[in-house]
Amino acid sequence: MSTRARLAYFVRTAIGSMVRSPFVHVIAVAALALSLVGFGLARIANSQLEALVSSLGGEVEFTVYLTTDAPSDKVDELEKALLSRTGGTAKRISPAEALGRLAAQLGEQGKALSEVGENPLPWSLELKLPAGARNATELKQLAERTRSLPFVQGVDYGEEALDRLALIARALQLAAIIVFALVFLTAIIVVSATLQLAIFARREEIEIQKLVGGTDRFVRMPFLIEGALQGTFAGVVALGTVFGLIRWLERDGGELVGFLMLDGHFVVAWGRLALEQLGLGITLGLLGSFIAVRRFLRV
């Protein structure tokens, strides 16, 4: 029998087995798809939060508050060093401009600031950072070094907000790992259990194949194809479900997950996610079928 004929036989056998016992295979595909949905949503949430952290780069300034006797040449050196380190843009803010900003932010209450005799606000250096320079750890180190300078009163860069987002990002990364582990275990158990039933139902057929000289590889191949088909169907179902959920959240879930969206949308690389879902589904289906066949194909 040629390789092409064997492959056609294996595919026909696998499809025929799934058609003869659709219920157990539908359960297997549904369980595997549900696990892949969890994995896909965790991946999207983690990627979205990373995009959200990066987007803050153009909205939050790295502000350095200077002392009243700050040497002009030292401030120039600091500005050049910060620009070289971050690749951002800098602007010096006078006490009068800072007071005007504060009054505008306070609205009606800001009128009271006009009665202040001496302006208490210092000169400051505002640095607008590009998205790639918003790494919380690097900014914290930069802020500590800047604060140590004798002519610097303080540094503000939205540290608390960035720390919270970084903490949430780490939590989501851990959740993604846990979800992946659950997907892995669930897929192996479900696919193995399903194919164990298929092997048991076809035990007489398998015995005959072995008696007439069928090798373990020849007997095993249809079950491996079944596992791959289950993984493929599960990946397609999971991808469609995730797509529908994301579109629903973008349309009606503003109050629930609005803080994660950028301009009302999720940033999702659908092509990459599709490859991940299908690849993971097929891999887990094959692995589950291999374990099931290896354990029970002893006739």
Splitting the chain (299 residues) into consecutive groups of 10 residues, what average pLDDT does each group show?
74 78 80 84 77 59 87 90 86 81 66 64 84 73 90 84 73 75 75 71 70 74 85 92 87 62 73 90 83 64
Are 286 and 168 part of one and the same domain? yes
Are 47 and 116 part of one and the same domain? no
Are 168 and 151 part of one and the same domain? no
pLDDT digits (tens, 9 = 90+) for 28-55: 788 888 888 888 887 887 777 777 666 6
Are 226 and 146 part of one and the same domain? no
Please give the helix or strand (H or E) that residue 124 lies within, else none.
Answer: strand 124-128
Domain ends where: 140, 157, 174? 157
Q: What gap in Å lies between CA 191 and CA 289, rounded to an integer?
A: 6
Are 189 and 134 part of one and the same domain? no
Domain ends where: 109, 130, 157? 157
pLDDT digits (tens, 9 = 90+) for 184-237: 777 777 777 776 776 676 667 667 777 777 677 777 788 888 888 988 999 999
DSSP letter string, 11-33: HHHHHHHHHHSHHHHHHHHHHHH
- Containing structural domain, residue 107: 61-157
60 DSSP 8-state letter: S
Quote the tokens at residue 220: 């095993």
Domain ends where: 101, 122, 157? 157
* CATH number for the domain harbouring residue 115: 3.30.70.3040
Using an 8 Å Cβ cutoff, are 223 and 199 in contact? yes
pTM: 0.62
Q: What gap in Å lies between CA 217 and CA 7, rounded to an integer?
A: 12
Are 193 and 276 part of one and the same domain? yes
| Number of domains comprising the chain | 2
